[in-house]
Structure 1
Amino acid sequence: MSVTQGYAIVVHGGAGSPRAYDDGCERAAQRAVEELAISADALEAAIAAVVSMEDDGRFNAGSGSVLCLDGATVEMDASIMDTRGRLGAVACVQGVRNPVLLARAVAETPHWLLAGDGAARFAAAIGHPTHTTISDHQRQAHEKVVRELAGSVPAMPGISEEAKAFLRFWNYQTPLDLPAHAACDTVGAVVRGPDGHFAVALSTGGSAPSLLGRVGDTPIIGSGFYAGPEGAVAATGIGEQIVRHLLARTVYGWIEDGMPLEKALQRGVDLFDPKVPVGLIAVTRTEAAAHSNQDMPHARIVQP
C-alpha cells in the first residue's frame, strides 16, 4: 500500500436512530483522531470510536444494548477487521463490557469468531471486564417494546411473514403477540490510516424483538463489514436482509471496480425496500461518505 499523509474517519450510530445522537458520533470520531495520534493504527482508531459509542448509553451497543423480551437478557455482537490481516468477532455474548474489545482479542487467537457461552468463557479466561448493569434507558426501551406488543406492524420491517415464524418458534417463557417495534441501531466505524491501511469495527445489542440466540449481520464478514486494499465498508439495518445481499462485500466490490463512493453507497441502499432501514459508511483511498434510507446519526473527519 502506498503511504499517505492524511487520514479519514466515518462513524455511524445506526440506521433509524435519531440525528440527535450526532454528538455521540462526533465524540467517537474525535476519539479515533486521538488514537491515530498515538498509534497511527487504523484498526485501533476504529475500535476507539466504537468503544466511545458502546459507553455512550444511548446507542444499541455495549452499555446501551437492548434488552431481550424477557427483560433481563442482553445478547451482543461485535466485529473488527483490517488490511493487516486482523479479523475477529463475537456473537450472542452476554455480561461483558465493550464487546468490540473482546472481538479484538479473538483476533489474537487461532479463530475469527466466538459465540455465546464460549465467548463468555474466553472473556473470563483473559480477564475481560464484565458488565451486567441495566440502565434506565435500556429499561425504557424495553417497556416501549412491551407496550407495542399486539400491534399490527410486522415484527421486522420488510419481512411480513416473520411474525408467523415468531409465533411458531418463540423460545421465551412468555407468550408473544405480534410486536411492532424493532431496534437496528448498530454502531460502526471505518478508518483510513495515515499509512494507507483500512479498518472497520462494529458493535450491536441485536434487534428487539428477536428469538434468543439471534445473530444478525454485525459479526458476519462480508455482510455487516469488510475491509480490503481499496477501502472499508460498514453496514447497519435489518441484518436478516443485509446478509442476503452480502452487502458490505458487494459495495466493496463496486468500489474495487472504480465506482465513485457516493454512487456505490446509494446503489447498496437501493437494493432494499425503502421500508427496510439500511445504511452504509465507507472510506476509500480518496473518499469518505455515509448514506442511509433513514435518519442515521453519523460523523466524518477527513485530514487531507
Structure 2
Amino acid sequence: MRNILLLHGGVGIDNSLVDSANKKLNSIAGSVELGLDPLDAAVNAVVIMENDPDFNAGTGSVMRIDGSIQMDAAVAIPGKFGSVLAIESVKNPVLVARDVMNLTPHTMLAGDGAIKFARLLGYKEYDPSTEKAKNRLKIALNSVNDPNGEGHSKYSKLMTKTDFSRFLSDSCDTVGSVARIDGKFAAAVSTGGSSPMLRGRIGDSPIFGAGIYAGENGAVVATGIGEDISRRLLCFRIHEKIGTKSLEKIMEEEIGFFKGVIAGVIAVSADEHGYYANKGMGIGLKLENSM
C-alpha cells in the first residue's frame, strides 16, 4: 500500500487553466512531508493554499456582500471532526478547526465564538482582504440594476440577475486535501465562500458529511456549490458506497446527480484514490511507499 496526499484547488476553473493549476498543486503536494500522521499532511497542504492569494481560502478569500470576509474550514479523521464557521480575522482557519477537534469537547465553533477561541490560543489578528477580492465584489455588485439596494432586496437581485459561473471561474472555490498514511485516513478543507453571498452564509465545507468526511472506509472532500452539496450530503454518500464498486464509478455517479450545478470531489480508500468533477478542477498528488 502506498501513502498518498491528494489535493484540489477548487472546481469551476476554465479547462484551459487546468494544466497550470495541476502543475502548481503538484508542486504544493510535493513540498508536504507525509510523515506518520495523515492529518498533519492534509492540514499542512491546506495551510499552504490558505497562504496563497490565488486560492479562495485564507488570504485569497472572497468578500461577502457587506465587504467582510468570513471563512469556513474543517478537519476530519475517523471518529473525530472539528470545524470553524464564519470565522474572521485569522490567517489559517484550518489550524483553528484542528484545535477545535483536538482541544475542545465540541465539533463546531462559529462566528465570534470561533474568533475568541482563536485569540485565546494565540492566533493573531490578520486581515485576509486583497485588492482582487475588492474588485471581484465590485463586479458582482455592479452586475445588478440597483447595487445600492439594502438587505434582502439586494440579495434577491444578485440571485436572479448574476451569472454565478462568471465569479466561480476565477475564485478557485474551496481548497481541500485527503491523505492515507500507513492505512490511516484524514481530510482537511478551507474556503472563503462563494460570491455573491450574505454575511453569515455557511456552505458545505464545515459540515460533516457534506463537504468533508472521514471514516473507516476512507476520506472524502467536496468542492462546488455548497448549498447543493449540503442537501445531498455528498461526502457521506460517497464514503458509504466505498467498496461496492470502483471509487471512480462511485464519484462519477454521485456527481451525476448535480444537474447544472458545479461540483467536484477527491477521495482515498484503503486501496484506491481518485477525483471527479463536472467542470475544470486542479489536482495535486504525492505518492510514497509506506514504511
Q: TM-score, normalised by structure 1?
A: 0.84
Residues 9, 288 of structure 1: 8 Å contact kept: no
1:119-170 Cα offsets, whole Å, 9 max, x none, are 011111111132114222222322332333349xxxxxxxxxxxxxxx9962
CA contact (8 A) 1:88 1:103 kept: yes
Q: Tell me, in whole angstroms, the C-alpha distance in 1 between the residues paired with 2:47 and 2:279.
A: 24
- Structure 1 unaligned blocks of 5 or more: 152-166
Question: CA shift at 1:287, angstroms?
Answer: 1.2
Q: CA deviation at 1:27?
A: 3.0
CA contact (8 A) 1:14 1:297 kept: yes
1:215 aligns to what? 202
SS in 2 for 1:297: strand
1:268 aligns with 2:225: no
2:84 aligned with 1:90: yes
* Pair 1:48–1:70, CA change in 2 (3 A): same
Q: Does 1:104 align with 2:98?
A: yes
| Range that drifts further, 174-183 or 275-284 | 174-183
Quote the residue 1:251 is aligned against. Answer: 238
| Pair 1:21-2:21 in alignment | yes
Residue by residue over 1:237-284, the C-alpha shift from the partner in whole angstroms, topping out at 9 and shown as x without a partner, is 1111011111000001111x43211101101110110x2100000011
Counterpart amino acid of residue 187 in structure 1: V
Structure 2 gap ranges (5+)? none
What residue in structure 2 maps to residue 200 of structure 1? 187
Q: Is the 8 A contact 2:224 2:264 kept in 1?
A: yes
**Runs of 4+, deviation exceeding 4 Å:** 174-177
Matches of 2:282 and 2:212, distance apart in 1: 18
- Whether the 8 Å contact between 2:53 and 2:60 is mirrored in structure 1 is yes
As a proportion of its length, which structure holds more strand?
2
Where 2:210 maps in the other structure, the secondary structure is coil
Identity %: 39
Aligned ranges for residues 144-159 of structure 1 at < 5 Å?
144-150=139-145
Q: CA RMSD in A?
A: 2.2
- The yes-or-no answer on 1:119 pairing with 2:114 is yes
Pairs aligned (count): 275
1: CA distance between counterparts of 2:88 and 2:107? 18
- Contact preservation (8 Å) 1:24, 1:53: no
How far apart are the structure 2 equivalents of 1:175 and 1:277?
21
Supply the AA of the counterpart residue of 1:244: R
1:58, CA displacement in angstroms? 0.9
Matches of 1:285 and 1:231 in 2, distance apart? 6
Change (3 A) 1:23 1:143: farther
Task: Report the Cα offset of residue 68 of structure 1.
Answer: 1.1
Q: Distance in 2 between matches of 1:168 and 1:270?
A: 37
Deviations 1:161-212 (A, max 9, x none): xxxxxx996287x99553333547100000001x210000000001111111
The answer for the alignment partner of 2:55 in structure 1 is: 59
1:286 aligned to which of 256, 271, 288: 271
d(CA) in 1 for partners of 2:201, 2:112? 14
Q: Does 1:296 align with 2:287?
A: no
Q: Mapping of 1:230-245 within 5 angstroms?
A: 230-245=217-232
Provide the C-alpha distance between the structure 2 equivalents of 1:168 and 1:253, rounded to a whole number of angstroms.
44
Q: 2:162 aligned to 169, 173, 179, which one?
A: 179
The SS at the match of 2:141 is: helix
Distance 2:73 2:127 in 1: 17
Q: CA deviation at 1:90?
A: 0.2
1:78 paired with 2:73, answer yes
The CA distance in 1 between the partners of 2:43 and 2:212, in whole Å, is 13
Is 14-23 or 89-98 further displaced after alignment? Answer: 14-23
